[in-house]
Structure 1
Amino acid sequence: MRVLVLVKATEDSEKGFVPTPEAQEMMEAMGRYNDELAKAGILVTADGLKPSSAGKRVAFDGAGRSVIDGPFAHPRELVAGFWLWEVKDMDEAVAWVKRCPNPMPGPSEIEIRPVYEMADLQG
């Protein structure tokens, strides 16, 4: 099964990446973790996202479209980065997330969401 692993944003991540010694150390730890995921055959892709101030949203209302410029409110509801993994089940995904270095200074959260497969969509 494929899962999307979402690193939730924080007030700090919304300020953008600042190359402090602590941030560099965290990036190195995350690089080692990504190497482990790749060696285990789980990692499909991964990336970090720039702060929402660099983003836009497109709101849909019937045929109408409107563009909303970032930054967006409520950082903890935003995504700062992601992985796409191929795992045997949700338990394996949870076990790998528990091994992850803390992706943010201070408290942070990672969400795991199963990806729909074609078989899920066929009656």
Structure 2
Amino acid sequence: MRVMVLVKATEDSERGVLPTADLFEAMGRFNEQLLEAGIMQAGDGLRPSSAGKRVAFDGTRRTVTDGPFTETRELVAGYWLWEVEDMDEAVAWVKRCPNPMPGPSEIEIRPLYEEADFQAMLEAARDA
């Protein structure tokens, strides 16, 4: 199963505070363990939302909003894409992760849809 592992933004990450050298090294070691285990497919840190944009859709209309965005708890500071056996394995790996922020932080794990998830929907649509 593939999962997206989302490192939630904090006030520090939104201010552009970079990790300490010790934290950067610890995260590097953790990423190496993920790679050696065949878990990690991709991963990166994201710049603060002040460097981003949002595009809102309403029918054919598109509205672009420049960052920063106000709801820090809803923002993402980094991500991994992992291939794991199940959600329990993903949780076990996240528990091994160094705290990705200088203070309190949160990591969210979300399973990705796979082709098989859409097969049933497509078959039902054909049979209707």
**TM over 0.5: same fold?**
yes
Structure 1, unaligned runs of 5 or more: none
Q: Deviations over 1:24-81 (max 9, x none)?
A: 1111100000000000000000000000000000000111001000000111110000
- Structure 1 residue 18 displacement after superposition: 3.7
- Corresponding residue of 1:59: 56
Moved segments of 4+, more than 2 Å:
none
Larger radius of gyration between Structure 1 and Structure 2: 2
- Aligned mates of 2:68, 2:11 — CA distance in 1: 11
- Aligned mates of 2:76, 2:55 — CA distance in 1: 17
- Corresponding residue of 2:39: 42
- Aligned mates of 2:54, 2:44 — CA distance in 1: 19
Q: Deviations over 1:3-27 (max 9, x none)?
A: 00000000000011446xxx11111
The partner residue of 1:84 within 81, 84, 94 is 81
- Aligned mates of 1:3, 1:71 — CA distance in 2: 27
The partner residue of 2:23 within 22, 26, 42 is 26
Amino acid at match of 2:81: L
Partner of 1:46, secondary structure, is strand
- Aligned mates of 1:17, 1:88 — CA distance in 2: 34
- Structure 1 residue 105 displacement after superposition: 1.0
- Corresponding residue of 1:14: 14
2:109 matches 1:112: yes
Q: CA RMSD in A?
A: 0.9
- Aligned mates of 2:40, 2:18 — CA distance in 1: 26
| Worse-superposed segment, 78-87 or 9-18 | 9-18
Amino acid at match of 2:88: D
- Aligned mates of 1:51, 1:80 — CA distance in 2: 7
- Aligned mates of 1:56, 1:24 — CA distance in 2: 29
2:63 matches 1:73: no
